[in-house]
Chain A
Amino acid sequence: MSEDIAKTPAPEPERKPPLGSWSRMYLFVLGFLGFLILLFLLFSNTYTR
């Protein structure tokens, strides 16, 4: 049993996203969503009479 485990190749170390860690990546995506919604609001208010 322990031999089997020893034979199993170690999984590749996970590459990290450019922002450092996944939670920061997710925060970035949420921030971008908020930014888009604000931008859309501004866009609507500027052009709707």
Chain B
Amino acid sequence: MSPIDWLVLGGTLAFIVLYGAWKTRRSRNIKGYLLGDNSATWATIGLSVMATQASAITFISTPGQAFESGMGFVQNYFGLPIALIIVSAVFIPIYYRLKVYTAYEYLESRFGLENRLLAAFLFLLQRGLAAGITIYAPAIILSTALGWNLSLTILLVGLLVVFYTVSGGTRAVSLTQKWQMSIILIGMFIAFALIIRGLPENVSLGDAVSVAGMMDKLEVVNFSFDPSERYTFWSGILGGLFLALSYFGTDQSQVQRYLGGKSVYESRMGLMFNALLKIPMQFFILFTGVMVFVFFQFQEHPVLFNTTAMERVYETNYADEMRQLEARHRQAHADKKQAIDEVIVQLHADNETALDAAVAELKVRDTVALGIRQEAKDLLNRSIEDKTKDYDYVFLTFILNYMPVGLVGLLLAVILSAAMSSTAGELNALAATTTVDFYKRLIKKDGSERHYLMASRLLTLGWGAIAITFALFAHLVENLIEAVNILGSIFYGTILGIFLVAFFLKKVRGRPTFIAALIAQGTIFFLFAFLAKEVAYLWYNLIGCGLVLILAWLIDLVLPRKEA
């Protein structure tokens, strides 16, 4: 990386962090610290909600995913606008009417203390672990690709976030997120423009899109009912609906973003902003990935993009085998490029028959190249047991090798900003829940404003320390990472179930709901421990939520009511 890139990267991050801390240095009470004095407008809420959801992995991994398997991933977001409408129509007015600080506070007014504590506890458990991963996952990829020290990268991101979230609270989080999201969007647009400019002179954007389509990267919607297909319209709209409903309606890291709004109007508009923009944004990020794919059809690329892992293979007995694969891949890529050149010629000549023949030839050669890439991946797993996904390195390889000086720094700032914005939202929400639902409710009920403000600050610091420590030691428990990634799905269903009973089954009481929630959570744990292969974890949301709703209703019928 050049000194200019370092300057751009350092300058961008320093500006955002100092701006956030400076603008919010006068937080004097708990309401200001946790709800930002209800001063946020819909634009701030909208960008803040978006920035909390978009983690660094979104920008590292998503383009790579499109490179590998096309645009189908966008279907996962089809349920999101519907979920946001439900949150906006049902959840927001209730939270505002009761003037709650956390989503779980509402559960006490509806059911009693036990349900509030259970939901808050489940949230802390999963979000507390996830916060560590939000820092660790991009840090491991950045440190591998750039040769940075892993621990230093984790400490840099972690400490910067802790600095402004502890000092400025929710307002600092949303103010910085507004800037972070702006940098992210500008950076991605510039990157896209430069990818298109990087294509050979005789290849227009239209040609690039045609080539991507011929190579099966542009199938966006898939109506197949085959359960083995990973992304379909049905799993997207149903699974996506439940996931987004739990996340936006009951996860404090999101609820806190819109509870800081000036009014119900501003909060709702903030969510509608996301309902309209989220799918086009994901489409754009995936489309950028597909264009990177087309770029690498004309430009030679390594057989595997994780070059650090490749270097480790060279030090083993498998080195020769890997070198042979590289040589074969180089040849296969050259053959494929010849076929693509022919496709472009026929596209311009508008000769359908010749074009069909050229496309058929291209597909054959692409299959050969893909086969070699798969052999290399298998060899990597055999030789050094590397479990990272190679496609995570595609976009970074592109940025580092083909972007102009200055922009490399800006795009790394995009990735680190995304890591910081999600982590900030999480730490802020963890501290709010611990303060409001546990400390203030159970331990010290009659403290002063100053006291609770200090407690919130210390708890933000504490959660920051836990997240950073977990991130620093996450590499020791590599196999747990995947488990942590699916933690959300393990707990979300139960939490959403409790909330849905509260909203829609008005006659059901607290105790039956509590018992139902415990049984549902136990069942999900059982499925995860013993039937993980039979039941895909995305279904946990639906099963957990459905179980709470049905069991709460049934137990309520059976459990005797106290005489009034």
Residues of A within 8 A of B (CB): 12, 14-17, 22, 25-26, 29-30, 32-33, 36-37, 40-41, 43-44, 46-49
Q: Report how far A17 CA is from B283 CA in the complex, Å.
A: 27
Task: Say yes or no: A25 contacts B213, CB within 8 Å.
Answer: no
Task: Say yes or no: A48 contacts B279, CB within 8 Å.
Answer: no
Question: Mind listing 28 A-B residue pairs with CB under 8 Å?
Answer: A14-B265, A15-B265, A22-B89, A22-B268, A26-B85, A26-B89, A29-B272, A29-B275, A30-B85, A32-B81, A33-B78, A33-B81, A33-B275, A37-B221, A40-B74, A41-B220, A41-B221, A44-B219, A44-B220, A46-B213, A47-B210, A47-B212, A47-B213, A47-B218, A48-B216, A48-B218, A48-B219, A49-B213
Q: Report how far A46 CA is from B84 CA in the complex, Å.
A: 31
Q: Report how far A40 CA is from B221 CA in the complex, Å.
A: 7
Q: Which of B210-241 contact A (CB under 8 A)?
A: 210, 212-214, 216, 218-221, 233
With A12-B263, A22-B268, A49-B359 as given contacts, are A30 and B81 in contact (CB-CB < 8 Å)?
yes
| Chain A: CB-nearest residue to B209 | A47
Give the chain A neighbours of B272 by CB distance below 8 A: 17, 25, 29
Interface string of B258-302 (1 = CB under 8 A from A): 000001110011001001100110010000000000000000000
Give the chain A neighbours of B264 by CB distance below 8 A: 14
Give the chain A neighbours of B233 by CB distance below 8 A: 37
For the complex, is B122 an interface residue (Cβ under 8 Å from A)?
no
Among B212, B213, B219, B276, the residue within 8 A (CB) of A29 is B276
Give the chain A neighbours of B403 by CB distance below 8 A: none
Q: Which of B241-269 contact A (CB under 8 A)?
A: 263-265, 268-269
Give the chain A neighbours of B279 by CB distance below 8 A: 33, 36
Chain B: residues with Cβ within 8 Å of the partner, total of 31
Add 20 more A-B contacts to A32-B81, A32-B276, A48-B219 (CB < 8 A): A14-B265, A16-B265, A26-B89, A29-B81, A33-B81, A33-B82, A36-B279, A37-B221, A37-B233, A40-B74, A40-B220, A40-B221, A41-B221, A44-B220, A47-B212, A47-B213, A47-B214, A48-B213, A48-B216, A49-B359
Give the chain A neighbours of B210 by CB distance below 8 A: 47
Give the chain A neighbours of B85 by CB distance below 8 A: 26, 29-30
Task: Say yes or no: A43 contacts B220, CB within 8 Å.
Answer: yes
Among B82, B214, B275, the residue within 8 A (CB) of A49 is B214
Give the chain A neighbours of B209 by CB distance below 8 A: 47
Q: Report how far A25 CA is from B42 CA in the complex, Å.
A: 15
| Chain A: CB-nearest residue to B214 | A49
| 6 closest Cβ pairs, A-B complex | A47-B213, A40-B220, A15-B265, A47-B218, A26-B85, A29-B275
Q: Report how far A14 CA is from B263 CA in the complex, Å.
A: 8
Give the chain B neighbours of A22 by CB distance below 8 A: 88-89, 268
Q: Report how far A22 CA is from B93 CA in the complex, Å.
A: 12
Give the chain B neighbours of A49 by CB distance below 8 A: 213-214, 359
Q: Report how far A29 CA is from B276 CA in the complex, Å.
A: 6
Give the chain B neighbours of A30 by CB distance below 8 A: 81-82, 85
Task: Say yes or no: A44 contacts B221, CB within 8 Å.
Answer: yes
| Chain B: CB-nearest residue to A27 | B85
Task: Say yes or no: A15 contacts B221, CB within 8 Å.
Answer: no
Task: Say yes or no: B265 contacts A17, CB within 8 Å.
Answer: yes
* CB of B214 to closest CB in A, whole Å: 5
Q: Report how far A28 CA is from B212 CA in the complex, Å.
A: 32
With A22-B89, A47-B210 as given contacts, are A17 and B269 in contact (CB-CB < 8 Å)?
yes
Give the chain B neighbours of A17 by CB distance below 8 A: 265, 268-269, 272
Give the chain B neighbours of A40 by CB distance below 8 A: 74, 220-221, 283
Q: Which of B69-104 contact A (CB under 8 A)?
A: 74, 78, 81-82, 84-85, 88-89
Q: Report how far A44 CA is from B75 CA in the complex, Å.
A: 13
Give the chain A neighbours of B218 by CB distance below 8 A: 43-44, 47-48
Task: Say yes or no: A15 contacts B263, CB within 8 Å.
Answer: yes
Give the chain A neighbours of B221 by CB distance below 8 A: 37, 40-41, 44
* CB of A37 to closest CB in B, whole Å: 6
* CB of A25 to closest CB in B, whole Å: 6
Q: Report how far A32 CA is from B221 CA in the complex, Å.
A: 16
Q: Report how far A1 CA is from B265 CA in the complex, Å.
A: 30
Q: Report how far A48 CA is from B210 CA in the complex, Å.
A: 8
Q: Report how far A15 CA is from B216 CA in the complex, Å.
A: 47
| Chain A: CB-nearest residue to B97 | A11
Q: Which of B85, B210, B233, B276 has the most CB of A within 10 A?
A: B85
| Chain B: CB-nearest residue to A12 | B263
Give the chain B neighbours of A36 by CB distance below 8 A: 279-280
* CB of B268 to closest CB in A, whole Å: 7
Q: Which of A22, A37, A47 has the most CB of B within 10 A?
A: A47
Among B78, B82, B219, B265, the residue within 8 A (CB) of A37 is B78
Q: Which of A15, A46, A49 has the most CB of B within 10 A?
A: A49
